[in-house]
Amino acid sequence: MRKSTVFIVILGIVSLFADMTYEGGRGITGPFLAFLGASAFMVGFAAGFGELSGYLVRFLSGYISDRTGRYWLITFAGYLINLLAVPLLAFAGNWQVAVLLIILERLGKGLRTPPRDAMLSYASSDMGHGAGFGLHEALDQIGAVAGPLIVFIVLASGGGYREGFLVLLAPAIIAIAVLVTGYLLFPRPSELEASGEIDYRDFRGAYWLYLASVCFVALGYADFPLIGYHLGVRSVLDPSNIPLIYALAMLTDALSALVSGRYFDRYGFRVMALAVLVSMFYAPLSFLGGSWAAVMGAVLWGVGMGAQESVMRAAVSVFSSPERRGSAYGTFNTIFGVAWFSGSLIMGYLYGLSVPGLVAFSIITQSAALVILLGLEGFRSAG
């Protein structure tokens, strides 16, 4: 196995156990805050402000990573904050402390994502950026499914929320240990960057055009909690089946990441455009149909998420030189996050006014992204 592939697998295993930790915890933070006496407003504030803060810090994180070259140091700092905040929730004595830890967890994730993705892009240049990010996302999603299942087992066995958070210390420690191993084996991951003939300066205008398409995708993509809320309150599905629908979406996400990542390296932005075209129909199926339509909607939603987490991230490498990769990922993540947060607010508001209006908004924004992506078809992955 090539060194670059080993490095990608190591980062993928780190993400697997990291996702196991914080995705496991996120499933019970809402009811835990309610248990501590927090209002519905504070629950929403903790989730929304935490996400927004985590995305805003990514721009600064990427810039500092490039300026200092301390990709590993910033990645370690982010993972430590991100992962240890979750099991520490077991010791939160009041909702104020719990809210602080929830926000810190998101800030930690925001801090480590740009330098981590920059290092991943160096290694994936050898096997293909799409394939590299696709492999990483597939491993990541295993943890995203396993984490909530672990917490479910704890609660089903008679444990409480605190026990659920505390058990997540184990995958957190494993993730950090694997990260240390990655550093010891590959202290200078930039050396894994494959040499190429691409003049990155030619892509400045296209990079911002690409970010415009990213904005439209994020604006019109509903959070699964909103989909789950709809399926429950409208009695489309039995509430006990909604977690199974989410698990199906996550499985599709992993498969989509592998497939779309591999073909992006061969066919470029046509693959991303196809993923947007297919996944845009998640909205009418999820919000306007019955139970079987909801199942199909979850599958299409997973197709889109897999493409977003693989080829959308991989494409940033096409538009940025290695020495500015951290800044490119920081900008990408910040813009994507702010657009996603804004879209979540808009669609949440539209849901209360008109569900067909929400669906129309989603399709229009995804269609705008599709038009831009087709205009970028001439570009190819640097791998």
Count CB neighbours of 197 within 10 A.
5
Please tell me the distance from the alpha carbon of residue 269 to that of residue 260, in angstroms, as a whole number: 10
Please report how many Cα atoms fall inside a 13 Å half-sphere around the Cα of residue 96, on the Cβ side.
0
> In this predicted structure, what is the pLDDT of residue 17?
97
Q: Which two structure tokens, joined as six digits, stand for 213?
A: 């398409």
Tokens of 353: 């006014």
39: three-class secondary structure by DSSP: coil
For position 208, what pLDDT does the model report? 87
User: 3-192 — its CATH code?
Assistant: 1.20.1250.20
pLDDT at residue number 383: 40
Confidence at residue 378, expressed as pLDDT on a 0 to 100 scale: 59
In this predicted structure, what is the pLDDT of residue 195? 60
Mean pLDDT per 10-residue section of the chain, whose length is 383 residues:
89 96 84 84 78 88 91 96 96 94 94 93 84 90 88 88 95 98 92 61 72 94 84 81 81 90 86 94 95 95 92 84 83 88 87 94 96 77 41
CA distances from 225 to 29, 55, 135, 330 (A): 13, 19, 26, 26
Return d(Cα 122, Cα 126) in angstroms, integer: 8
> Residue 230: its pLDDT value, please?
87
pLDDT of residue 148: 85
Asked whether 227 and 352 are in contact (CB, 8 A), the reply is no
pTM: 0.81
CA–CA gap between residue 231 and residue 224 (Å, rounded):
10
Which CATH number fits the domain 200-375, given the four candidates 1.20.1250.20, 3.40.50.2300, 3.40.630.30, 1.10.3720.10?
A: 1.20.1250.20
The tens digit of pLDDT for each residue in 122-151 reads 888 778 888 898 999 889 989 988 888 898
Please provide residue 195's backbone torsions phi and psi, each rounded to the nearest 5 degrees: -70, 145
Q: CATH 1.20.1250.20 occupies which residues in the chain?
A: 3-192, 200-375
Is 343 buried (19+), middle (13-18) or exposed (0-12) by CB count in 10 A?
buried
Q: What is the pLDDT of residue 379?
A: 55
The per-residue pLDDT for 382 is 40
Inter-CA distances, 275 with 48, 278, 299, 350, Å: 27, 5, 12, 25
E-assigned strand segments in the chain: none
Distance of alpha carbon 190 from alpha carbon 73, whole angstroms: 14
In 208-306, beta strands by DSSP E: none
Q: Which residue has the tokens 């489309």?
A: 236
How high is the pLDDT of residue 200?
A: 47
Q: Which two tokens stand for residue 147?
A: 């984490």
Task: Identify the pLDDT of residue 96.
Answer: 95
Sequence-distant (6+) residues with CB within 8 A of 109 are 22, 54, 78, 82
Q: What is the pLDDT of residue 168?
A: 96
62, 101, 141: which is closest to 334 by C-alpha?
Answer: 62
Among residues 144, 361, 175, 154, the alpha carbon closest in space to that of 247 is found at: 144
Give me the phi and psi of 237, to 5 degrees please.
-135, 155
Can you tell me which residue has the tokens 């006990």?
Answer: 240
